[in-house]
Amino acid sequence: MPNVATDIRKGSVLILDGDLFVCTEFQHKTPGNLRGNVQAKLKSLRDGRSIQRKFSSTERVEFAFLDKRPCEYLYKESAGYVFMDAESYEQFHLQPELVEDQMRFIVENAQAAVTFHDGNPVSIELPASVELKVTHTEPGAKGDTVSNVFKSATLETGLEIKVPNHISIGDVVKVSTETADFLGRA
C-alpha cells in the first residue's frame, strides 16, 4: 500500500523535491464537512531550514529509507562534529546546522545512534533523557526551602537550564532531550 500524508508522524523523514526533510511537528485536521489535511513543519536535513507544508489526506508522500548505526561522538572541529562508527571504526563529520540543537545533550565519547541515508550521516537520535554534570550554578540561599524555587545552572555541554535550589556544582542531573527541562538528580 502506498504511503499517504496521514502516515506522517513526528520524526518521519520524507523526500520532497529531491531533498530530505524530517517532520518536527504535524497536525491532522478534519474541518467540518471538508476533506481532511495534514499540516507539517519540516526541517531540511541538507541545510537545516524549516518549512511549513500542507498535504491533502490522500496525497502520496515518499518516505526515505534510513539506516541507524551506533556511533561515538569524538570531538568538535571547524568542519563539524566528528563521530566514529562503533562497528567499522570509520570517522565522519556531521554538519553543525543539522545537529546543533541535539549536540547540547551529548558529551565527548558518548554513544549516540546516527541516522544515515544513502551512506551519508543526516541526523542523531537521542534518548528521552540524558545525565549531565553541573559545572556552574549559584549556591542556594539557606532557608529558601520552598519546593518550587529554581536557579540557573550550566551543564558540562554548555547547556543552561533551571534547577531546584538544592542542586550544586558537581551534581549529575537528568535532563529531558525534548524540552531541555530538569527531570531530577541522577
User: Which class does domain 129-185 fall in?
Assistant: mainly beta
> pLDDT tens across 43-70, in order?
887 777 889 999 988 889 998 888 889 9
Pick one of 2.40.10.10, 2.120.10.30, 2.40.50.140, 3.40.50.300 as the CATH number of 67-125.
Answer: 2.40.50.140
Where in the chain do CATH 2.40.50.140 domains reside? 67-125, 129-185
How many whole angstroms separate alpha carbon 155 and alpha carbon 132? 6
* Per-residue pLDDT tens digits for 8-22: 887 788 898 888 888
Is the whole model's pTM more than 0.85, yes or no?
no
Strand order in the sheet with 150-155: 160-164, 150-155, 129-137, 172-176, 182-185
Share of the chain above pLDDT 70, in %: 95
Strand order in the sheet with 62-63: 50-56, 37-44, 19-29, 13-16, 62-63
Residues of the chain with CATH 2.30.30.30: 5-63
Task: Answer yes or no: are the C-beta atoms of 137 and 168 closer than 8 Å.
Answer: yes
Q: Which fold has domain 5-63?
A: SH3 type barrels. (2.30.30)
